[in-house]
Structure 1
Amino acid sequence: MHISRRIITLAAIALSAGMAQAQTLFPYPTVPESIEGLTPRSDYMMEHFWDRCDLNSVFSSVKKFQGAFSDYVDLMPFASGKAMNSSVESFLKTVGKKPKNLLTVAEMAEGLLYSDTAHVRCDECYLPFAKAVASNKKLSKAEKARFEYQAKALERSQVGMTAPDITYTTREGNVARLSDIPNGPYVLIFINDPTCDECAMARVRLQADYALNSLIDKGLIKVLSLYPGDYDPDWAEQAKDYSHRWIVGAAPDADEYFDMRNPPVIYYLNGNHKILSKSLAVDNLIEAFRRVNERAQTTVNHTENTTEQ
């Protein structure tokens, strides 16, 4: 996670019990000196951040409020999950009494936590904001539509959850599901579009990677490459160039199950199809495959030597 200078400044505020308040919209909490450590101090800041803010009138100056809200978000990487969730829940409960204010906050959260330019990219942090808008009965369908879509995709594809049992049509024309892949091997879901340059580059690198191919041949990993569009003969013809080691299919509903913000989209599942990680960089993946393959090969060599003895 990229830690900006602004976030470091907020961390300093959390660590400094008696430091003078900066020019803020309202007085930020002062952490007691008896509380030690970055996480406990950040927890205190999160839990008491809005104590001296009148959330009924503060939206009269949205620009100034945005600065305070950005400071609030910047504390999230340093606080515990429990403190962050409790603080956000309480905050949204108050703000949600005025739907237009809730919508304003959710749009700010989208920019700071969810968008391509977010400086604190955190799906778990953003999800409560999207869900709050999606479930608000006083906002129009048009106002809620984007947030409903985001909440749905995020809720279905969080780390630790079982991956959605998505249906796809293979390049051979057969209908299949993720659950058709037997439990046991790890599964790399690679969602890519042939018209996407970044996707094409990632596909070439993954197809050519010795370690990944070796792990596939050993039965330790399955690769499921999905095109987020309808099956058609043109795509099927293009898909013939994809690795013969991969399962390749077309899944037009992929965006309803997975977070499709930044293609190519990569999810890594364990042997029971639970999501271990997502939004992985290809460089990191290739390095991880190299290390895993080395360990697997070491295990094989050790077993062979023991058998010979």
Structure 2
Amino acid sequence: MRTVLAVVAATEAAALAALALHPCASAQEPAAPFALPEIPAALTAPAERADYLTYHYWDRFDFADPSLFVPEGTAERAFVDFLSVLPLAPQADRAWARLFGRLRGDAERLLYFADLGDKYLGEAASPLCDEGQQILFLEALLADEGLPEEERIRPRVQLRLARMNRPGTVAADFEYEGRDGVRHRLSDLRAERILLFLNDPECADCRRTKAFLVSSPVVREALRAGRLALLSVCVEGDTPSWRAASVPEGWTDGCDALGALTDGEHYYLKTMPALLLLDGARRVLLKDASVEDVERLLTADR
């Protein structure tokens, strides 16, 4: 049986890299004992091929075979491969709708795939965590009339949280308090680019990220040139560790005294720290970014 790796084709290096993210998706071990679709030879563009593959991926999968649904078994490995190719497919929403269409009327299998989506797309520690795909997955799941009402509560909440401050949308405004007790708003900042560093000084990863930002020549140059405003906010409020932490030169520093960042109404902090890069109109350019992501965009701005 051909694996997804073979189907997508050797020229599509991105698919190979994506499948290598998870041990279940190896080139040596076929993901599932079912025939993957034959992609028409007329489709030569990687995006077209990925769209076709993901849309028809489950066509020959036997959803009635219980042996495929054991923990970490065939169905789960096949789902991981499916997720790995989806980022290459511009019409991934159609692929999700197609999968849930195959599950219509089978509540047990529907809940099985709902759990897999939560595990691989929703958990921050997953190498396949992808908020964009999670949104498409949740939208398709909730569109299925066969999903019991009591099972809709969690995905509805997840979808609301995932949609917060998406790239291309205007970041929610919020109030923060400076060390002098004066309150300010995100919307008060004026710069071509605004970097939000949402953190807790007691978090080891937050301290490491802070050190990376301080030592970054790209960030320092953008701050000096006035092109970048960097707002660091302690999400735990006015704590002793925040008071004791140093404020790097050029940074704006504050704390979330009102709990605006942790009340689940406007921001959802899946990981700590959280880096969001905004433009001058507070439109989100990068969400849950790495320092390297921020540096690349700031470098491209020069």
TM-score, length of structure 1 as denominator length: 0.74
Q: Are residues 281 and 236 of structure 1, via their aligned partners in 2, closer, same or farther at CA, if it must alter by over 3 Å?
A: closer
Would you tell me which structure has more helix in proportion to its own residues? 1
Question: Does 1:232 find its partner at 2:238?
Answer: yes
CA radius of gyration, larger in: 1
Say which of 15, 35, 56 aligns to 1:27.
35
Question: Does 1:245 find its partner at 2:250?
Answer: yes
Q: Deviations over 1:121-142 (max 9, x none)?
A: 422112122345567772437x
> Which whole-Å CA distance do the structure 2 matches of 1:86 and 1:272 have between them?
33
Q: Any idea what SS the aligned residue of 1:254 has? A: coil
Question: Does 1:174 find its partner at 2:168?
Answer: no
Q: Deviations over 1:269-306 (max 9, x none)?
A: 111111111233224545665x469x4xxxxxxxxxxx
> Which whole-Å CA distance do the structure 1 matches of 2:82 and 2:239 have between them?
51
Paired AA for residue 70 in structure 1: V
Equivalent pair of 2:31/2:78 in contact (CA under 8 Å): no
Paired AA for residue 124 in structure 1: G
Q: Any idea what SS the aligned residue of 2:163 has? A: helix
- Which runs of 5 or more residues in structure 2 are unaligned? 11-29
Q: Are residues 129 and 97 of structure 1, via their aligned partners in 2, closer, same or farther at CA, if it must alter by over 3 Å?
A: farther
Say which of 262, 273, 280 aligns to 1:271.
280
Query: Matched residues, percent identical?
Result: 21
Equivalent pair of 1:11/1:38 in contact (CA under 8 Å): no
Shift of 1:186: 0.7
> Which whole-Å CA distance do the structure 1 matches of 2:175 and 2:206 have between them?
21
Say which of 199, 203, 209 aligns to 1:202.
209
Aligned to 1:4: none
Equivalent pair of 1:267/1:280 in contact (CA under 8 Å): yes
Q: Are residues 144 and 270 of structure 1, via their aligned partners in 2, closer, same or farther at CA, if it must alter by over 3 Å?
A: same
Paired AA for residue 228 in structure 1: V
> Which whole-Å CA distance do the structure 2 matches of 1:168 and 1:104 have between them?
42
Aligned to 2:15: none
> Which whole-Å CA distance do the structure 1 matches of 2:157 and 2:173 have between them?
18
Aligned to 1:281: 290
- Which runs of 5 or more residues in structure 1 are unaligned? 1-7, 17-21, 296-309
Say which of 11, 14, 21 aligns to 2:8.
14
Shift of 1:235: 4.8
Q: Are residues 202 and 125 of structure 1, via their aligned partners in 2, closer, same or farther at CA, if it must alter by over 3 Å?
A: same
Equivalent pair of 1:92/1:102 in contact (CA under 8 Å): yes
The count of aligned residue pairs is 273
Cα root mean square deviation, aligned: 3.2
Equivalent pair of 1:206/1:286 in contact (CA under 8 Å): no
> Which whole-Å CA distance do the structure 1 matches of 2:293 and 2:116 have between them?
30
TM-score, length of structure 2 as denominator length: 0.75
